[in-house]
Amino acid sequence: MKTRHRWFSDRLQDEIMVVRWGVSGRPVLVFPSAGGDAEEIERFGLVDACGQLLAAGRIKLYSVDSVAGQAMVTKAGSTEHRAWLLSQFHECVRREVVPAIHADLGDQPMDVIAGGASVGAFNAVAVLCRYPDVFSAAIGMSGSYRIERFYDQASSQDLYFSAPLQFLPGLAGPQLDLLRQRYVVLASGEGAWEDIGESWQMAATLGAKGIPNRVDNWGPQWAHDWVTWRRMLPQYLGELT
């Protein structure tokens, strides 16, 4: 069963849509690739790839428009505006999208698994690290974690607090304590357009703070492509649910 919900976000000053597939099970928020919309994961077969898990009632899949990613790809506005929008997008996910997911679940207090590929992997890991109070795990597939390069290598407070590679080294206190009870899977191939070095860098940053994680190297036959992600996502969701 598929449903769509759209609303105007004051945080983003734009409309945002959340789509849900499935009827019961663990909530999984899958971020689109850089500029994708909430239905991208369906068009490229990720929803069908998770069909057995959906049919068994083990998961409910959700996805959300990549509002910040669309601005990043088109270079809409100034660099400072795009960095602000990225931080606001994460806040929108925490303050608007997650409550909408909980309402859809009948207000059950259930932590969400975050997932995504490429820039979607960055967002999945970022929201887990920023909001471990509502996310329990992240599945990063072929992750592009050095987000600064998409923002002309700019430095700003918004970008700093959006990017785990930047803010994790200085993190302490209750947020870090919670993160040490969470889990991150970083999966990557070594085929065309892949850079597994980004996953290893993310793993080292997480590991240095005692945050449980692992890197899975799928090898040179797996490219930075939907074919790879259609194999990865159901495998890891099967492990985590």
What CA–CA distances, in Å, run from 210 to 19, 153, 172, 181?
Answer: 34, 28, 11, 9
The residue-averaged pLDDT of 180-203 equals 98
147 contacts 167 by C-beta, under 8 angstroms: no
Per DSSP, the residues of 48-108 read HHTHHHHHTTSEEEEEE--HHHHHHHHT-S-HHHHHHHHHHHHHHIIIIIHHHHHHHTTS-
- From 142, 137, 11, 162, select the one nearest 72 (Cα to Cα): 162
Each residue's pLDDT tens digit, 102-145: 999 997 778 999 999 999 999 999 999 999 999 999 999 999 99
- Per-residue pLDDT reduced to its tens digit, 135-145: 999 999 999 99
Whether the predicted pLDDT of 154 surpasses 80: no
Q: What is the pTM of this model?
A: 0.96
* Distance in angstroms (rounded) separating the CA atoms of residues 22 and 179: 28
Average pLDDT for 209-215: 98
- The order of strands in the sheet holding 14-21 is 2-9, 14-21, 59-64, 26-31, 112-117, 135-141, 183-188, 213-217
User: What span, in angstroms and rounded, lies between the C-alpha atoms of 241 and 224?
Assistant: 25
Region label for 189, one of left (φ > 0), alpha (ψ between -120 and 50) or beta (otherwise): beta
In this prediction, residue 62 carries a pLDDT of: 98
